[in-house]
Amino acid sequence: MSETAFVSTDETRRLFSAAMSEMYRTEVPQYGTLMQLVGEVNRRTLAADPALAERLSRGGEIERLSDERHGAIRLGTAEELATIARLFAVMGMEPVGYYDLSVAGIPVHSTAFRPVSDAALSVNPFRVFTSLLRLDLLDDAGLRDEAAAILARRRIFTDGALALIERFETAGGLTEGEARTFVAEALETFRWHSDATVDEETYRRLSKAHRLVADVVSFKGPHINHLTPRTLDIEAVQQGMPAHGIAPKAVIEGPPERDCPILLRQTSFKALEEPVRFAGDGARTGTHTARFGEIEQRGAALTPKGRALYDELLSDVRGAATVGASGTGAGDYDAALRERFRRFPDDWATMRREGLAFFRYAPTTAGLDAAAAGRASADLGALVAAGHASADPIVYEDFLPVSAAGIFQSNLGTDAQSNAGSSGNRGAFEAALGRGVLDETALYAQAEARSIDALRQALAAARTRAA
């Protein structure tokens, strides 16, 4: 009897990420243009900076770079969120982090589904920023009930996708054929539908409450609203966008340009105006702006101490300079950002010594030789100082709430920054999800600790072999 061979969840995710990219390229041609631009900039950056190329190659990041992307969707109900968690689990993706966007006046809260182990991340780090609409933040109780009733009627998953999720859960995996069918079925949930499920009058009322409410409630499914490639030089891509006929938002979100990149810098181009057909008599047509493009540059994951410093400096900047709806004040904002962030050390050695970022350690050849000769220190700092261990920053795999708010705003048609609003409700989000979200800081701390264990074991083994 032959055993059923299951494909790995990493392979299913890789297939899905490629299929999604293919679909989005057809739906939003500018995405293809941006991918090309990012590819060129990345090649140029690596050629000009051999040290960067070497560091990324050590961390397994070069191979994953051209396939690396994240997408975003917005869901309407608790049931949709709980089911999407099961769908992403088939691809080895788990919910990491809680993002409260209500602080910026956006009626959603979110998590990021992504792979979490070192090995899975290096196969394909595909992530999906997933938001859940918070109807509780709408003032109009009548509209709230109406929206909830509309959402309760829709089915965003195909029967085929649901059947294969169940099959995965009961059998413990999918065969290759099943995985391919699953990818095709799952893709349907993310597809754009130009037929609205509501009539024009309802669409207008939802839109008036918040444009995001109309985007979530009026359609058959949670269309993927952007797909973001990772660049190694976001300034170069931002500058290159207009020449390719793409208009970027006014400011790059996140930290300023630095020698040692931290966290995440992001910029996006404006949402497309797409034709839609409303339901109801007369089938009127109109337009809806939902889908846009974004690029990002990823840097080092910060420790709680580093993150606190980042948050403090960013909130200082936002207190001092505000960007207006049409991008006014963007120059002042950039200048204030650069100025305030001088307080954040910009060399890896200092950032490591001061405990601002997470690092991955590995023995060097010199380190193994020294260990064999009984000359390797037991102290981590001393090992690095002696060149006996390498210390590479761990890449930040997550998102930033203030940046995400800026991306939401920009794609709702304004560059205006907003700082005030209501508060989050993590308990309600996790109840809807049916589980807790993972703590991103703990994941980075574990990755660092694992690398230190492996380093110590490798040095001890070298010593034993020599003895």
Looking only at residues 166 through 225 of this chain, which bind ligand OOG when binding is defined by CB under 6 A? 225
Binding segment for ligand OOG (CB under 6 A), chosen from 153-161, 352-360, 379-387, 406-414, is 406-414
Which element (helix H / strand E) includes 449?
helix 440-466
Binding-site string for ligand OOG from residue 290 to residue 309, where x marks contact by CB under 6 A and - marks none: ----x---------------
| Closer to ligand OOG by Cβ: residue 165 or 224 | 224
267 contact, one of ligand OOG, Ni ion, none, CB 5-8 Å limit per kind: none
Name residues whose C-beta falls within 8 Å of residue 91's C-beta, 6 or more positions apart in sequence.
Answer: 9, 12, 13, 16, 126
Q: Which lies closer to ligand OOG via its Cβ, residue 21 or residue 411?
A: 411
Residues that bind Ni ion (CB under 5 A): 228, 294
CB distance 409 to 421 below 8 Å: no
Interaction of residue 74 with ligand OOG, rule CB under 6 A: yes
Of residues 143 and 405, the one with the C-beta less far from ligand OOG? 405
Instruction: Return the DSSP state at 354.
Output: T
How far is Cα 61 from Cα 46, in angstroms, rounded to an integer? 12
In the complex, minimum distance from the CB of residue 359 to ligand OOG, in angstroms, rounded to a whole number:
25
Distance, C-alpha 123 to centroid of its chain: 16
Closest CB to ligand OOG among residues 161, 407: 407
Q: Minimum distance between the CB of residue 423 and Ni ion, rounded to whole angstroms?
A: 23
Of 16, 113, 126, 129, the one binding ligand OOG (CB under 6 A) is 129
Give me the 15-54 binding string for ligand OOG, x by CB under 6 A, dash otherwise.
Answer: ----------------------------------------
Are 274 and 194 within 8 A, CB to CB?
A: yes
Q: Is 131 in the site for ligand OOG (CB under 6 A)?
A: yes
Size of the site for ligand OOG (CB under 6 A): 13
Specify the long-range contacts of residues 335-344, CB closer than 8 Å, at least 24 apart: 337/255, 337/256, 338/256, 338/257, 340/313, 340/314, 340/316, 341/255, 341/256, 341/258, 341/313, 341/317, 343/309, 343/313, 344/255, 344/258, 344/262, 344/306, 344/309, 344/310, 344/313
The residue range among 306-314, 359-367, 398-406, 456-464 that interacts with ligand OOG, by the rule CB under 6 A, is 398-406
In Å, how far are 192, 221, 416 from 25, measured between CA atoms?
A: 12, 19, 29
**How many Å apart are CA 276 and CA 279, to the nearest integer?**
10
Q: How far apart are CA 28 and CA 272, in angstroms?
A: 8
Q: Does 396 bind ligand OOG (CB under 6 A)?
A: no
Residue 408 binds ligand OOG, judged by CB under 6 A: yes
